[in-house]
Amino acid sequence: MRVRTFHVNFFLDKNELSHLEKICKESGLGKSKVIRNLIMGVEIKPRPTEEQLRLVREISGIANNINQITRLANTVKSVSPAQVEELQRLCSEALSLVRESL
């Protein structure tokens, strides 16, 4: 059974349709989804660029490495100077990636 049981029909002028299609293209969403989101007060954001997606993947990998070091530190209740340096290096690398993307 359908989740959405009501059908709404309405008319748009050329400018309104053009604007709706532009929003759909930028966000990667269909017309129905855009209209439903707007009705519910959701902000429609453009889909991320390939560069932004690459940056998120790289930072996620760095964050995973940091998480592994901190988990080890919590387990043994100590952190070596080499681990602290590695954490600082990883944080600097993440910050550099963000700065390069801006």
List, for residues 58-102, the tens digit of each pLDDT value. Answer: 888 888 888 888 887 778 887 788 887 888 888 888 878 777 766
pLDDT for 102 = 61
| 17-61 pLDDT per residue, tens | 999 999 999 999 999 999 999 999 999 999 988 888 888 888 888
Residues in Cβ contact with 70 at an 8 Å cutoff, skipping those fewer than 6 apart: 87
**Under 8 Å between Cβ of 86 and 62:** no
Reduced to 3 states, what is the DSSP secondary structure of residue 80?
coil
How many helices (H) and strands (E) the chain has is answered by: 4, 0
* H or E segment to which residue 70 belongs: helix 50-76
